[in-house]
Amino acid sequence: MSGLIGKKIGMTSIYDENGKNIPCTVIQAGPCVVTQVRTKEVDGYEALQLGFDDKAAKQSNKALNGHFKKAGSSAKRRVVEFQGFEQDFKLGDEISVDHFEEGEFEMYQVHLKEKVFKEL
């Protein structure tokens, strides 16, 4: 199942064609950077490790800074693995919402007050 990492920006509401008020959550999803590519030969499964939301390098330890440097990106606040990407991505590629088609089933992992919510 492919996915993206995002963060909650706020709440709003929209009106449908009948005039009913529908509350909506506004989420900033992506762009995410591919920080590691898991392969079946090395790791036993296929997945992509994505990083989201930049942070200062001094807030990470040297091991993580080296991990992000290998991917050619700055340090990230959130790092999550997703399986099921049909396209082949390379280390350092950026994945955004444009990668998905309208109506396609996707998984978002959103962090709010240090809690993890998975919206399917």
> pLDDT tens-digit profile of 41-88?
998 988 889 999 888 888 888 888 888 888 888 888 888 888 877 788
- Of 1.20.1630.10, 2.60.40.10, 3.10.180.10, 3.30.160.810, the CATH number of 3-119 is 3.30.160.810
pTM above 0.85, yes or no: no
Domain ranges, ordered by start, for the chain: 3-119
Q: Is the pLDDT of residue 113 over 70?
A: no
For the chain, the average pLDDT equals 81
Contact 7, 110 (CB under 8 A): yes
Go through 70-108 and write b for each residue having 16 or more CB atoms within 10 A of its CB, e for each that does not: ebebebbebbbebeebeeeeeeebebeeebbeeeeebbb
The number of residues in the chain equals 120
Query: How far is it, in rounded angstroms, from Cα 82 to Cα 64?
Result: 19
